[in-house]
Amino acid sequence: MTGPDAATGSHRFATASEGIAAEHALLQAARDGQHGALVWGAERPGLVVPRAMSRRPGFAAAARASAARGWPVHLRATGGGMAPQGPGIVNLSRAGPALGRSAEAIYQDLCNTVGAALATLGITTETGPLPGSFCDGRWNLLAEGRKIAGTAQHWQPRADPHSGWAVLAHAVILDEAMPEACLAAIDGLSADLNLPPTLGPRAHTTVAAQRAADSGATLCEVLGGIGALAALGQPLPVAR
């Protein structure tokens, strides 16, 4: 880990596994009633897949082949499908007690936060599914009909069994990444696991491609500036 950026509070980790470990720490703290948030990215390319995918026949060999192509595979606790990590990809992770809120409400809050950040950069978004996009789901963020961010959640019971649930809500945002390389890596692993391919770059876009020409701030700066580091609505600073 290289530590937080002094200007934005965002973290750069060497690998996606380090970022996933930091998210896990946020969720474990949330089980004890704490709120936390993190904006982060990984320096090295990789593919993150749900742990359940590791039980597919041939997964170990497919993961080795992906690593040989320069895209090592990392496991996560959240559901969904494959997602890219690496340079040009920004993650927003927020955790806290659910406090009776539904998964839909937490997804909506996360998408509203990311959407507000993108609006500051001149990008209009909407939520919805997009078949053929990576890790497709109801709570994609779309810009001009193409996926610019995906979201996921992971729930665990609170440490006190009478206190309900804790939740980690996560968004992966295509900031300055090269969609062609990311999607080729996903399609390569998918082929080895007998899963369908994505629709490629025509179903995806990036902040760099969509942002207004006169918007000088970076995505990480905007996320911090609008209070995106508040965890599930709590005005708390980024984890250090």
Here the CATH number for the domain that contains residue 188 is: 3.30.930.10
Instruction: Please check the confidence at residue 3 and state whether its pLDDT lies above 90.
Output: no
Confirm whether 233 is domain-assigned: no
- When pLDDT is cut at 50, 70 and 90, the band that residue 240 belongs to is very low
Residue 170 falls inside a structural domain: yes
pLDDT in tens, 111-160: 999 999 999 999 999 999 999 999 999 999 999 999 999 999 999 999 99
Q: What is the DSSP string of 44-108?
A: S-EEEEEGGGGGSTTHHHHHHHHHHTT--EEEESS-SS-EEESTTEEEEEEEEE-TT--HHHHHH
The answer to whether residue 35 sits within a structural domain is: yes
Residue 26 CA to residue 28 CA, distance in Å, equals 6
Q: How many helices (H) and strands (E) does the chain have?
A: 6, 11
Assess if residue 107 is contained within a domain: yes
Q: Is the pLDDT of residue 188 over 80?
A: yes
Q: Which domain holds residue 58?
A: 3-225
Domain count, the chain: 1
Looking at residue 232, what is its pLDDT?
59
Could you tell me the pLDDT band of residue 234, with boundaries at 50, 70 and 90? low
Label the pairing between strands 73-76 and 46-50: parallel
Q: Is residue 236 part of a domain?
A: no
As given in the structure block, the two tokens for residue 119 are: 């609006």
Record the pTM: 0.92
Residue 239 belongs to some domain of the structure: no
**Does residue 210 belong to any structural domain of this protein?**
yes
Q: What is the percent of the chain with per-residue pLDDT over 70, rounded to a whole number?
A: 90
**Confidence bin at 235 (pLDDT 50/70/90):** very low
Residue 240 lies in a domain: no
